[in-house]
Amino acid sequence: MRLRHLLLAAAVSTASLLSAAPLKIAYSDWPGWTALAIAEQKGWFKEAGVDVELLWFEYGPSMEAFTAGKVDAVTMTNGDALVTGAGGGKNIAVIVTDYSNGNDMIVAKPGIKSLKDFKGKKVGIEIGFVEHLLLLNGLKKVGLTESDVELVPTPTNQTPQVLASGQVDAIGAWQPNSGEALKAVPGATAIYTSADEPGLIYDVIAVTPQSLAQHRAEWVKVAKVWDKVVAYLADPKTKEDGIKIMAARAGVDPKEYAAFMPGTKFHTLAEGSKVLSAKTTGFDSVLGSSKIANDFNVKNEVYKESQDAASYIDASVSADALKK
């Protein structure tokens, strides 16, 4: 019993020390995550009584930093959360920021009218990532499979240049990269997007199990701040200022960035809590969407062992934030 008390005291002491450090969140250039910059610039984290340090990364490196234990949380898709977990970066989604509503695109060069024309074509894509899943989802709808195309492994931030170089016939990317690809090749078109399958790609803030256990009350505060960010972007009086902040963070012209907004279905805390807690099997819940992503990942050998999708979701943080 005494040992138990000593261990408990040590744990409390460690937690106290850790609580003095900021919660480090790695985020990247997806609009649903760049919006966190609004909270930082407005001082809303400090106002809520939670110390948060936002760290800006390219998407892939942000998950690598998470897996390496350099941050407490990372912004990523629900499908990539499973990939990260299978690779040693166990994580738990506590906040749904949005779902992709068209910003994720399969962009094809001129002359390709639809996915039906993809047979035998080269597609530049980040293998095992969410655009890969989007492509397969689209191919399935037109009666094709992955074996009908040649995938060319391409980092997402390099897809515009690769499409422009002529090395591939199409690419898969999210904004702003997909928009840059459209501009880089005159006549290129987005022939399949996430708007064609709402809920295929949920975007979340996922934390380490350790951080969630030690700083749960602080994550509840972060969830409340997220709701404030969404409200700021929904208010016609402040939306333009919010977009200006996001554009500056991403290094994109504000007018150009405003075009990305309809492609991101931002979720209020209530909306996020609903899809986090739902137990459906389709794309109308994070769990259903994640199970579909898990099947895709295993089938395509992104990882070998099936992941327990439910263990990657904790709806209680967002739910508690709604109560207070």
Q: What is the pLDDT along the chain (324 residues), one digit of tens a residue?
A: 333 333 333 333 334 444 469 999 999 988 999 999 999 999 999 999 999 999 999 988 999 999 999 999 999 999 999 999 999 999 999 999 999 999 999 999 999 999 999 999 999 999 878 899 999 999 999 999 999 999 999 999 899 999 999 999 999 998 889 999 999 999 999 999 999 999 999 999 999 999 999 999 999 999 999 999 999 999 999 999 999 999 999 999 999 899 889 999 999 999 999 999 999 999 999 999 999 999 988 987 889 999 999 999 999 999 999 996
The amino acid at residue 92 is I
Helix (H) or strand (E) holding 140: helix 130-141
* Relative orientation angle of helices 216-234 and 269-277, to the nearest 10 degrees: 120
Q: What is the pTM of this model?
A: 0.83
Q: Which of 80, 50, 61, 168 is nearest to 120 (CA)?
A: 168
Q: Are 247 and 257 in contact (CB under 8 A)?
A: yes
Domain 23-101+202-322 homologous superfamily, CATH? Periplasmic binding protein-like II (3.40.190.10)
114-196 under CATH 3.40.190.10, yes or no: yes
Residues of the chain with CATH 3.40.190.10: 23-101+202-322, 114-196
